Amino acid sequence: MEELKWEVAERLGLDDDLQDPDELTVREAGKVGGQMVKKLIEKGKEAMAGDQETRR
């Protein structure tokens, strides 16, 4: 999860702010968290699709 958080923060240009959590606004933290959730859902869907392919 930590790696994903840094990956998303870097993509959003917030990795500098993430290094010092006092500099991260609630809005920025929400953006990072939201993107993390989207990525986790995407990976879950891919895993489920792979399971279905294996069962066929």
Q: What residue segments make up the domains of the chain, in order of their start?
A: 2-55
CB 47 within 8 A of CB 39: no
Q: Cα 31 vs. chain centroid, distance in angstroms?
A: 9
Residue 32: alpha-carbon gap to chain centroid: 7
Could you report the per-residue pLDDT of 22-51, keeping only the tens digit for each? 889 999 999 999 999 999 999 999 999 887
Long-range contacts of 2-6 (CB under 8 A, 24+ apart): 4/36, 4/39, 4/40, 5/32, 5/36
pLDDT digits (tens, 9 = 90+) for 2-19: 999 999 999 999 999 888
The pTM of this model reads 0.77
Q: What is the pLDDT of residue 38?
A: 97
pLDDT above 80 (res 21): no
Tell me what pLDDT residue 56 has: 63
